[in-house]
Structure 1
């Protein structure tokens, strides 16, 4: 019995050590941004494409107040409710004290400046597809925004999801930063894929998830339940979205559908962001959506 007890104890210790090693945060290589300098104008375009304000502006913000990234919006999920943090340049309550690497590790690896895992409510596996130059430009632009001293609110998450180390295990099972749509793409389709799959992270809402909350890429953009519990997020593959490329561009510009309906819910700020981009980018997204495999 003593030998059995010692064997079980040793196995538990080895298992715990292996889990701790496998689930440790993995930051970006230190030289990821070597030789790159940021550009504010390009960074503003990246800011709109990535939709930072859509999540991080204060609840109900309008007009110029949308650029005050004080946080506070609530995002319900099957695992609890996530509260968007303050990412304004405030040095105490926001990210004003962050370095470029701090922001990049958060965006592309889900790792905090303190070395902890961020929850995947931050779509870092989408942002992981972003080019280093775009990350540098975004960092440069974020520094120009108004600081705000509103403290970030804690997420409303119960046990065991409150154990952040478990997110490391989730990452092991769901860390896929490859582009989903592959094959021979035109220049416009490639640009549209980059916007849709990386910066605009369309798949995070429009793709169904598995039991652990990972994206089911076999049904890419095929629609999903609304995390709020109210209705569904639509299928935007060619099996369901039969609009022409021009009609898609118009929707991403004005919010109006070919049937003269209009966008609602969280799609409203998405369209506001898309409308800030060059029309060629919206046309590229439309071309990409026509290339996505149809899923019934």
Structure 2
């Protein structure tokens, strides 16, 4: 009996240590004071550029919205994934149902650390793994612009997730593996400023890698195959390879890519399709210099073969 008591006692001690370690490792981590100091006052005019670069309407406007209704960020879009169904929330300026009462610090922590105002982890269906690379001042500008948009009442439905994915605390471990503010593609010190700007727009607010990069079993982006294409998050489709590797867009010139962003037409005069339709509509709202910069970046990054079995053209 004495031996069994010792074994049980040891197991309980080890279990307690493990639980404490898990709790500490998974604690949501907010931005530090130095980063918060970089936010600044926020400028709505500059923030509009970040709004379109980030494609906020693609997920947070009501599905199939057109015209000015695209600026009503009521949420409701459903994303059916192997982990469950994620629903885009209301992020309008409504103080009750949206984020109108969020402080600048609340907004920045959600964007760059995936932490909600109540201190809980946000699910990475919201692409904070990309937004973590953003300039804090751009985050403040984005919030300033979003405050000018219509307040929309009404809650979007909750996520529908099964165990264990409905336990947000475990996302702390996921973030340890996948959340980083470091650029994905290393550039030479003398890289053209245009390419550096394109990297920022594509890897940060534009979050291109969230769809165009293969994911592992835990749902994290495989950065060794950055932008090589992936199985679509929903259904059986694919998201194309947008590197210059085999199966990608190596035969597209920089001007071809920039023109596609503006017009929605490929060099072969095929038109944009699928979920890229919404993305292209947003990119068309950017200044030509920004579209050219993203195109220059895509031409400069390492080529990779398709991250999926080739089943469609790069325009898909």
CA distance in 2, matches of 1:131, 1:173: 22
Structure 2 matches for 1:77-116, cutoff 5 A? Answer: 77-116=81-120
CA distance in 2, matches of 1:175, 1:6: 37
CA distance in 2, matches of 1:295, 1:195: 20
The structure 2 residue matched to 1:246, chosen from 255, 261, 270, is 255
Q: Secondary structure at the match of 1:134?
A: helix
Scaled by the length of structure 2, the TM-score of the pair is 0.92
> Is the 1:33–1:136 contact (alpha carbons within 8 Å) kept by the matching residues of 2?
no
CA RMSD, aligned part only? 1.0
Higher deviation after alignment, 17-26 or 75-84: 75-84
Deviation at 1:80, TM superposition (A): 0.7
> Is the 1:33–1:133 contact (alpha carbons within 8 Å) kept by the matching residues of 2?
no
Structure 2 matches for 1:182-261, cutoff 5 A? Answer: 182-184=186-188, 185-239=191-245, 240-241=248-249, 242-261=251-270
Partner of 2:70: 66
Flag structure 2 segments of 5+ consecutive residues without an equivalent.
Answer: 306-316
> Is the 2:187–2:196 contact (alpha carbons within 8 Å) kept by the matching residues of 1?
no
The structure 2 residue matched to 1:290, chosen from 291, 299, 302, is 299
> Is the 1:247–1:258 contact (alpha carbons within 8 Å) kept by the matching residues of 2?
yes
Q: Secondary structure at the match of 1:75?
A: strand
Partner of 2:144: 140
The structure 2 residue matched to 1:267, chosen from 256, 267, 276, is 276
Partner of 2:125: 121
CA distance in 2, matches of 1:66, 1:266: 15
> Is the 1:207–1:224 contact (alpha carbons within 8 Å) kept by the matching residues of 2?
yes
Higher deviation after alignment, 171-180 or 129-138: 171-180
Higher deviation after alignment, 10-19 or 166-175: 166-175
Corresponding position: 1:165 with 2:169: yes
CA distance in 2, matches of 1:66, 1:87: 12
Corresponding position: 1:175 with 2:184: no
How many residues of Structure 1 are paired with residues of Structure 2 in the alignment?
Answer: 296
The structure 2 residue matched to 1:30, chosen from 30, 33, 45, is 33
User: 4+ residue runs of structure 1 moved beyond 3 angstroms?
Assistant: none
Q: Secondary structure at the match of 2:99?
A: coil
CA distance in 2, matches of 1:231, 1:137: 35
Flag structure 1 segments of 5+ consecutive residues without an equivalent.
Answer: none
